[in-house]
Amino acid sequence: MKWFRPVKGRELRESIIMDNSPCIVLATSGMLNGGPVMEYFKNWAHEDRNSLCFVGYQAEGTLGRRLQKGFGEVPMVINGKTEIVKIGCEMVTIDGFSGHSDRRQLLDFVDQISPTPRNIICHHGDYHKCNELGKTLRERYKCRTYAPQNLETIRLM
């Protein structure tokens, strides 16, 4: 589309950040845990003329979730040191757009696997929801399930 311009490289990203013209930036990562969005956020978060729109779920413990909860300032590592970023921008959550499968879709996916897996690791989501999904998988498929907590390590052999 003529309205979209891919941002490739730091130089173009910095020119967008410095430009005061109105714009909409679509950037990864959705939970504000890394990626290009961090550059935009740290430069634009303080201004009340800006809005940050979350599309979908923000996991507990992520910067995205803290912002959704209304934190007025957050620590960020900038140029190798931790600084406090004040939040002045509007926070908006738009539900219904997700790049992830829902519970039913995940169960349908496992239904299609042949042979049925003996072990399934449920991760990348709320710990309690992963545990609930794991329980359903155990009951339905008679397999072992694991729902690791953030930063927990599982050795695969």
- The count of residues in the chain is 157
Give residues with Cβ within 8 angstroms of 11, minimum separation 6: none
Q: What is the CATH topology of the domain spanning 10-94? A: Rossmann fold (3.40.50)
Residue 69, Cβ density class (10 Å: 0-12 exposed, 13-18 middle, ≥19 buried): exposed
The pLDDT of residue 56 is 73
Locate the domains of the chain by residue range.
Answer: 10-94, 103-146
Asked if 65 and 58 count as a contact pair (C-beta separation under 8 A), the reply is yes
Q: What element of type H or E holds 108?
A: helix 103-112
The pLDDT of residue 8 is 86
Q: State how far the Cα of 71 lies from the Cα of 67, in Å rounded to an integer.
A: 5
Q: State how far the Cα of 51 lies from the Cα of 68, in Å rounded to an integer.
A: 12
pLDDT in tens, the chain (157 residues): 788 888 888 888 999 999 999 989 988 777 888 888 999 999 999 999 999 998 877 888 889 999 999 999 999 988 899 999 999 999 998 887 777 788 999 999 999 999 999 999 998 777 888 999 999 999 999 999 999 987 888 888 8
pLDDT digits (tens, 9 = 90+) for 115-125: 999 999 998 77
